[in-house]
Amino acid sequence: MQQIQAPKGTKDVLPSESYKWHYIERTMRELCSLYGAKELRTPIIEHTELFLRGVGDTTDIVQKEMYTFLDKGERSITLKPEGTAGMVRAFLENRLFNEPMPQKLYYLNSPTFRYEKPQAGRYREHHQFGVEFVGSYSPETDAEVILLAMTLFGKLGVEELSLHINSIGCGECRKAYNTALKEYLVGYLDEMCDTCRSRFDKNPMRIIDCKEPRCREIVKKAPRTIDYLCADCKKHFEGVKACLDAAGVPYVIDPDIVRGLDYYTGTVFEVISQRIGAQGAVCAGGRYNGLIEELGGSPLPAVGFGLGMERLLAVMENNGVEFPKPPQVKVYFAANGDEARLKAFVLSQQLRQRGISSEFDHMERSFKAQFKYANKLDAQYTAVIGDDELAAGAAKVKCMADGSEETVPFDKLGEYFS
Ligand code: ATP
Ligand code: MG
C-alpha cells in the first residue's frame, strides 16, 4: 500500500529538533515578559472577509496565497495567512480597547498558511512569532518593537542580521507619492507584468515590491516614498531613528521596503540575513495606524512585526548557535525478573512525582541490554534491582559519570536524587 505523505510545503518537527524550538519559544516568552507583552492566542481559521479587508485585496497574500474554503455551513473560511488581522479582530471583539494603553500583545508559534511554491525557507505552513503594540503614536513604540526583535536575535546568539527601515508615510503622503509614481510609471505600463498593471490604479506603491525582473528594472529609478513624507511623518521617522541611535541599534535606511501587506503606514522594517539564501527576510513589520478602524474599531494606532520561526531556526543553525541540550534522563532502573520490574515501574513513578526524570525497561530487554539502553539514553544514574536488591529493599545506584556505586534503600531514592 502506498504510504501517505505530508502535504507539499509542510514539515514535521522531529524529536531530534523540537528541543531547539522549545529553546527559541522559551527565550521569546521571557523576552516578551521583560517588555510587558502578553500572549493573545487566536484561532487558526478566520472568516475570509477579515483578510480581504485587513490584509488588502491587492496584496500577493490575498490574491494568490490564501488557503480558502467553504465549510459545511457554506461560510468562506481562510487558514491564517499572517498574524496581525486575527490579533486585531480579537482585540476588538474582546474589547481590549477598554484596557489601559498601550496594549502589548504577542503570539508565538502561530501556524501560518500560504499557498506558495515550496522552496528553501518558503513553506505552505510556517510558524510565526509576532508582537502587536496597540494604542501609541509615539516613535518610541516603533523603536521598542524593533528593539524587542533585535534583542531577541542577540539573545539567541545571532549577530549577523541587518535591520532595514523605511517610512511609507500616511494617507496624505501617499496621495502625493502615488501621483509622482504613476507619472513615472505610465510610460512603462506596456512592459510591466499583468499584476503590476492592475496595481497601477488600485495600489501603485506595491509595484515597488514586484519580484518580476522586468518590473524590478523599471522601478529602479522610480520615486520612493521616503522623499514624499509630510511634515508629521518626517518628524515621526526622525523620532524612530533617534531612538534607535540612542539605543545603539545599527540600521540602514532602505527606501525599497514597502511591505507586502496593505495595512502599513509610516515606519516599515525588515530584518535580513545574508546567509540563508534568497529567502533572507527573517522578520518584518511596521506601523499600521489605519487597520483597527478598517476592521470596525475606533481609530487606534499600532505597530508590530511577524517573524518566521523556521527562518530564524535556519539562521541560528547557519550561524553555528549551540542549542542547550534537552535534559537527560536522571535515573534509569535496570530490573531483572518480574518482581524487580514491577518495583522499577513503581519507583520510577515515585521519582517522577518528585520531579525527577526516570525511566525503566518497556521492551522486555535482557538485563545486559538494559544497561546498553541506559547508555544510549545518556542517563545520569542507573539503579539496579535484581533478586539481592529486592531482598535487601535497596537499589544499587551507579553514577555514570564517575562509575561510583552506592546502595540506596528504595524509600530513600527520592531524597537521594533530589
Ligand atoms: P517574503 O518576501 O519572503 O515572501 P513576506 O513579505 O511574504 O516574505 P511577511 O508577510 O512579512 O513575509 O511574513 C513575516 C515573516 O514570515 C517573513 O519575514 C518570513 O520570515 C516568514 N515567512 C513568510 N512567508 C513564509 C513562508 N512561505 N515560509 C516560511 N516563512 C515565511
Ligand atoms: Mg511572501
- Which pLDDT tens digit goes with each residue over 213-238? 999 999 999 999 999 999 999 999 99
How confident is the prediction for the chain on average, in pLDDT? 96
Alpha helices in 220-273 (DSSP H): 231-246
Alpha helices in 35-99 (DSSP H): 48-54, 60, 84-93
Q: Which ligand is nearest to the CA of 283?
A: 1
Report how far ligand 2's centroid is from the alpha carbon of 409 (Å): 61
Q: What is the pTM of this model?
A: 0.95
| In contact, 43 and 90? CB cutoff 8 Å | no
Joined together, the cell numbers standing for residue 391 give 531482598
Report how far ligand 2's centroid is from the alpha carbon of 127 (Å): 13
The span from the CA of 26 to the CA of 42, in Å, is 20
The span from the CA of 217 to the CA of 361, in Å, is 65
Give nearest CA residue, ligand 1 atom 9: 284
Q: Which ligand is nearest to the CA of 312?
A: 1
Identify whether 301 is preceded by a cis peptide bond (ω within 30 of 0): no
Q: Label residue 188 by pLDDT band (50, 70, 90).
A: very high
Ligand 1 is surrounded, with C-beta below 6 A, by: 82, 114, 116, 121-123, 126, 128, 260, 279, 281-284, 306-308, 310-311
Q: Which atom belonging to ligand 1 lies closest to the Cα atom of 311?
A: 20
pLDDT at 66: 97
Query: Mind listing the pLDDT tens digit for each residue in 34-77?
Result: 999 999 999 999 999 999 999 988 888 998 999 999 999 999 99
The span from the CA of 336 to the CA of 216, in Å, is 72
Joined together, the cell numbers standing for residue 110 give 502561530
Which pairs with CB-CB distance under 8 Å and at least 24 residues apart come from 221-226?
Answer: 221/184, 222/181, 222/184, 222/185, 223/177, 223/180, 223/181, 223/184, 224/255, 224/256, 225/166, 225/167, 225/168, 225/169, 225/173, 225/174, 225/177, 225/255, 225/258, 226/166, 226/167, 226/253, 226/255
Strand partners, 270: 164, 284
- Identify which has the larger pLDDT, 413 or 262: 413
The span from the CA of 247 to the CA of 356, in Å, is 43
Report how far ligand 2's centroid is from the alpha carbon of 126 (Å): 11
| In contact, 34 and 64? CB cutoff 8 Å | no
Q: Which atom belonging to ligand 1 lies closest to the Cα atom of 305?
A: 14
Does 186 have pLDDT greater than 90?
A: yes
Residues 6+ apart with CB under 8 A from 377: 328, 329, 332, 359
Q: Label residue 20 by pLDDT band (50, 70, 90).
A: very high
The span from the CA of 407 to the CA of 150, in Å, is 52
pLDDT at 134: 98
Q: Which ligand is nearest to the CA of 306?
A: 1
Instruction: Name the residue type at position 38.
Output: K
What distances in angstroms separate CA 17 from CA 12, 122, 309, 379, one per listed residue?
9, 18, 13, 20
Does 276 have pLDDT greater than 90?
A: no
pLDDT at 340: 97
Other C-beta atoms within 10 Å of 379: how many? Answer: 23
Report how far ligand 1's centroid is from the alpha carbon of 345 (Å): 48
Alpha helices in 204-337 (DSSP H): 213-219, 231-246, 291-294, 309-318
List the one residue out of 302, 263, 274, 323 whose CA is nearest residue 25: 323
Q: Label residue 208 by pLDDT band (50, 70, 90).
A: very high
Does 1 have pLDDT greater than 90?
A: no
Give nearest CA residue, ligand 1 atom 24: 122
Does 263 have pLDDT greater than 90?
A: no
Give the whole-number percent of the chain exceeding pLDDT 90. 92
Query: Mind listing the pLDDT tens digit for each residue in 84-120?
Result: 999 999 999 999 999 999 999 999 999 999 999 999 9
Report how far ligand 1's centroid is from the alpha carbon of 238 (Å): 27
Residues 6+ apart with CB under 8 A from 389: 340, 395, 396
The span from the CA of 230 to the CA of 242, in Å, is 18
- For residues 11-35, give the mean pLDDT: 97
Query: Mind listing the pLDDT tens digit for each residue in 191-200?
Result: 999 989 999 9
- For residues 303-318, give the mean pLDDT: 97
pLDDT at 50: 97
Query: Mind listing the pLDDT tens digit for each residue in 392-410?
Result: 999 999 999 999 999 999 9
Beta strands per DSSP E along 139-277: 162-167, 252-253, 267-272
Give nearest CA residue, ligand 1 atom 29: 122
